[in-house]
A and B are shown apart, each in its own frame.
Chain A
Amino acid sequence: DSGVTQTPKHLITATGQRVTLRCSPRSGDLSVYWYQQSLDQGLQFLIQYYNGEERAKGNILERFSAQQFPDLHSELNLSSLELGDSALYFCASSVTGLAGGLTDTQYFGPGTRLTVL
């Protein structure tokens, strides 16, 4: 158990719909990351938040958005869903998310499996 929690575990929805995935980081971690893992793309970094502020963006679609709340939990919003959005979505957290100084390790949650029909 990494200490990172994600809900829901599974989500089945239809094309065109909107869903929200939730992540609670490990106690003490300020940085949250979202990743998408589909069969043909592998694990792809989407976005990072640090203490409520967006810090880095990866291959995140404009239909997707995220935020980190004052209690440090994060939500990933996926809208206008397409069949190709079916994937595993992982959240990870780390203490700082900063490159300098001490090393910083990301710990991953169990993921949310999204199926778009």
Chain B
Amino acid sequence: DAKTTQPPSMDCAEGRAANLPCNHSTISGNEYVYWYRQIHSQGPQYIIHGLKNNETNEMASLIITEDRKSSTLILPHATLRDTAVYYCIVRVNSGAGSYQLTFGKGTKLSVIP
């Protein structure tokens, strides 16, 4: 089961910042938070990930609360091409030193002109 909770849908005006929340209250100390998005039926696209500190790259910023129980993905200036399903995933360590990504239902972000 996915260890995250996300709102099923959100709207954002074009050019404004999109703030996508995610709750992961059962996250363990060594588990990373990953964000992916999927535009229509394309392959999921990696956006960003983090452990404790806030992270920023050319696509987005990731803000993780100090207790690590929730995070927010920020798209600073949303465009129509950012309309997609956004998945917040806790990377769970599994056996044999490996890990798994468990995708939930995500948040359907609609960017409105």
Q: Which residues of A line the B interface, CB within 8 A?
A: 2, 4, 35, 42-45, 48, 50, 55-56, 58, 88, 90, 92, 97-100, 103-111, 113
Contact = CB atoms under 8 A, between A and B. Distances in A.
Q: Which of B34, B97, B103 has the most CB of A within 10 A?
A: B97
11 contacts: A42-B105, A43-B44, A45-B100, A55-B96, A56-B95, A92-B44, A98-B99, A106-B101, A109-B43, A110-B42, A111-B41
Contacts of B41: 88, 111, 113
Interface of B: 32, 34, 36, 38, 41-46, 49, 51, 87, 91, 93-105
Given A2-B46, A35-B103, A100-B97, 16 more contacts: A2-B43, A42-B104, A42-B105, A43-B38, A43-B103, A45-B100, A56-B98, A58-B100, A92-B43, A99-B94, A103-B32, A103-B49, A105-B46, A106-B101, A108-B36, A111-B41
Contacts of A2: 43, 45-46
B43 A56 contact: no
Nearest to A110: B43
Contacts of B46: 2, 105-108
Contacts of B103: 35, 42-44
5 A-B pairs with the lowest CB-CB distances in the bound complex, closest first: A108-B43, A43-B103, A99-B99, A99-B93, A108-B44
Given A108-B44, A111-B41, A99 B98 contact: yes
Contacts of B95: 56
A94 to B, nearest CB: 10
A45 B105 CA distance: 14
B31 to A, nearest CB: 9
A48 B57 CA distance: 28
Contacts of B97: 98-100
A45 B102 contact: yes
B101 A45 contact: yes
